[in-house]
Amino acid sequence: MIVLDKKKRVFTLHTQNTTYQMKADQHNILLHTYYGPRVSGGDLSYLIQYADRGFSPNPNEVGDERDYSLDTLPQEYSSCGVGDFRIPSVEFEPEDGSRLADLRYAGYELYKGKYNLEGLPAFWGGEEWETLIVYMKDAAAKMSVELYYGILEERDLITRAVRVVNQGTETVRLQRCASLCLDFQRDDLDFITFDGCHTMERCPNRAPLRPGIQSVNSLRGTSSHHHNPFVVLCERGAGEDYGLCYGAMLVYSGNFQAAAERTQLENNRLVLGIDPYNFCFTLAPGESFTAPEAALVCSPHGFGQMSRQFHRSLREHLIRDPYQGKQRPVLMNNWEATYFDFTADKLVDIAKGAQGLGIELFVMDDGWFGSRDTDLSGLGDWSVNLNKLPGGFEALVPRIKALGMRFGLWIEPEMVSENSRLYQEHPDWALGVPGRPQTRGRSQLVLDFSRREVLDYIYEAMRKILDGADISYLKWDMNRSLSDVWSAALPANRQGEVYHRYVLGVYGILERLRRDYPDLLIEGCSGGGGRFDAGMLYYTPQIWCSDNTDAIDRLRIQYGTSFCYPVSAMGAHVSVSPNEQNGRVTSMETRGVAAMSGTFGYEMDLGKCTPEEREVIKRQTAFFKEHYDLIQRGDYYRLSDPFTAPYTAWEQVSPDRREALVSLVSGPTQAAAPFRALRLKGLNPSLRYAVNGGGAYPGDVLMEAGWPLPMTWGDYQSMQLYLSAL
């Protein structure tokens, strides 16, 4: 609900549990007055204090009013070069070379429904949303900045976006354009980021904000394995179920920066958006630039409530799932079973080994095209290797379908091998600076997805594949970071646009695929979790969570991921033991429990499993399908921290709180282990629950007293409890 006080020019945004407020003051500075637990309203600008602070200058129009400075006031969208020395939100460079931005309030627009962003992913919806647009202007630069706010009251979600318009007669270079600026008038906040590397992504890191700027970012052209475009600011004592916390997410898949600054007055500012490194967009008169969407959730009751609101919002208002309301198939992928060494007969034999185990989708991974026998060649030549697959897809797909499975395919359309027909014909289609040697990653180069002719070529190649066979699923991979970022299609003064135009190109192809193949399930991937972000989830409802398939490492990866992203988005498979990434030995039962907290599938040759393992797999797939809605769409509760606890436990609860599934994996075993009870969450305290079909227990008892954990023998044992209300 948006409440407007026209006389005082106060904008109050109420969600179910939170309030967000801003005010245009007497000098047309848009001040941020409050964001936190829901309050009754009124003008909260009384909270802002004014004082003469040394070396904090004053706007020209205030004269000798030395207690009024942009350097000390909480601003809704921070200026640049005109007296605020904290992190700026936007920078303009007109033809005179100055780098200032002096934004003043210039009006507003308010309507029911959700705004759209052309060419960019964004949350969507109908009348359950409200939109506020606040117009800001820099009169000297003749630049307009439009601040967009979307309010989804039931989910405590506030989205933000920014559009910059050149209203003058000169060309202006946009050097920075953040999506979100948020000033906090408090000094007791921790900063949580989700960091790691390839095969160990999104591990939470928490530290108190110290004086100065703390930030995470990506300069890799993708959101990256190393830092995620989701961060949390929270009270020092905040935990899973208590304390105030703010989650901020960027709906974007390229370079980003999340910067938190503790200021001279011990207040804090968060700025989130495209990283300004090598970013410069040239705006001719009348042209505009739209920054990606950001999303905020404030939780007065800890991280768990914040996560569940993000999960619901992403599932209901961002992800466009072709299987909406239905079950996505349990799949098996041949990669770790064969790598590049396969033939059509070998693939069919592997698929036969999965018959009768509940597998519904067979996915053929890398190695099916061009001269692709190793990762040194073939990328870009998207035609079937007929030596491996005689008769092509037209011959192979019916053989797989005859076994009762649908067919899926791996592709890496953003890349090119130097040993390929495409590169020989169009070397300038790869990113690279003429006269400089090109940098390889995984022995491959990056196609220039900022160019229309490249996009059209790739899309036409994909269209021929999809039109030529009954393909139900596409795994879109991307196996290196961007380097040598220079486009032959742009002049020198526009090379700062390439990173962003590349991301727009990826989005453009994915949107065309969704339009032309609405029933196609697309799974995103970038060496696993290198582009695991809300921007990709808008086009691909699930993303391969990590190339690390070890169940125990995955528990930590999936734990960190769950702070923002829902279970239904996490691609997770059972693979062989000992694991091929780290050699760890875990049981089939434990590997299944870990993978079941994701989209669920198998990455191994199931025909090589023992009869006992095959029986376990049958039970796993049947259990997953039976409880699909509970696992994929239930409310998610973290019951332990795998980085500190001797076990990892989590729980999914149905929206009506009549069902729950508790999963637990123990750590390394110990002698004389203590007796422990696991306290559950999210149940109805007045209902009684049968546990695994056994005796009935009151919900309040299970939450307050807990469930006794069995004594385990051996490392990495697993347990699942299914609770149903009587």
- DSSP-derived pairing of the beta strands 688-691 and 696-698: antiparallel
Which residues make beta-bridge pairs with 524? Answer: 476, 543
Which residues make beta-bridge pairs with 660? Answer: 653, 723
Phi, psi of 426 (to 5 degrees): -140, 65
Nearest-5° angle of CA 634, CA 636, CA 640? Answer: 150
Q: Whose CA is closest to 357, among 645, 685, 600, 703? A: 600
* Residue 148 to residue 165: CA distance in whole angstroms: 14
Helix axes 392-401, 452-468, angle to 10 degrees: 50
H or E segment to which residue 632 belongs: helix 628-633
Do residues 290 and 118 lie in contact, with contact meaning Cβ atoms separated by under 8 Å? yes
What DSSP string runs through 79-135?
-BSSS--S--SEEEE-TT----B--EEEEEEEEES----TTS-----STTEEEEEEE
Look-up of token digits 């936190």: 36
Which residues make beta-bridge pairs with 691? Answer: 723
Do residues 621 and 359 lie in contact, with contact meaning Cβ atoms separated by under 8 Å? yes
* Residue 33 to residue 137: CA distance in whole angstroms: 20
Do residues 690 and 723 lie in contact, with contact meaning Cβ atoms separated by under 8 Å? yes
One-letter amino acid at 322 equals P
Q: Whose CA is closest to 70, among 94, 92, 43, 88? A: 88
Question: Which residue is catalytic, options 533, 547, 603, 651?
Answer: 533
Question: Which residue is catalytic, options 484, 511, 613, 629?
Answer: 613
Which residues make beta-bridge pairs with 248? Answer: 231, 296
N residues, the chain: 726
Please list, in sequence order, all residues whose beta carbon lies within 8 angstroms of the beta carbon of residue 60, skipping any fewer than 6 positions away: none
Q: Please list, residue by residue across 132-169, b when 16 or more beta carbons sit within 10 angstroms of its beta carbon and e when fewer do.
A: bbbbbbbeebbbbbbbbbbbbbebbbbbbbbbbbbbbe
Is 533 an annotated catalytic residue? yes
Is 453 an annotated catalytic residue? no
H or E segment to which residue 724 belongs: strand 718-725
Tokens at 373, concatenated: 């026998």
Look-up of token digits 């475009």: 229
State the first-to-last Cα distance of the chain, in angstroms, to the nearest integer.
38
Residue 456: count other Cβ atoms within 10 Å of its Cβ: 12
Look-up of token digits 């029911």: 112
Phi, psi of 455 (to 5 degrees): -60, -45
Do residues 201 and 559 lie in contact, with contact meaning Cβ atoms separated by under 8 Å? no
Strand, coil or helix: what is 218?
A: strand
One-letter amino acid at 46 equals Y
Please list, in sequence order, all residues whose beta carbon lies within 8 angstroms of the beta carbon of residue 693, skipping any fewer than 6 positions away: 722
* Residue 686 to residue 366: CA distance in whole angstroms: 53
* Residue 263 to residue 246: CA distance in whole angstroms: 19
* Residue 445 to residue 429: CA distance in whole angstroms: 10
Look-up of token digits 């003429």: 434
* Residue 638 to residue 563: CA distance in whole angstroms: 9
Tokens at 613, concatenated: 């393992």
Tokens at 289, concatenated: 């630039």
- Catalytic residue ranges: 533, 613
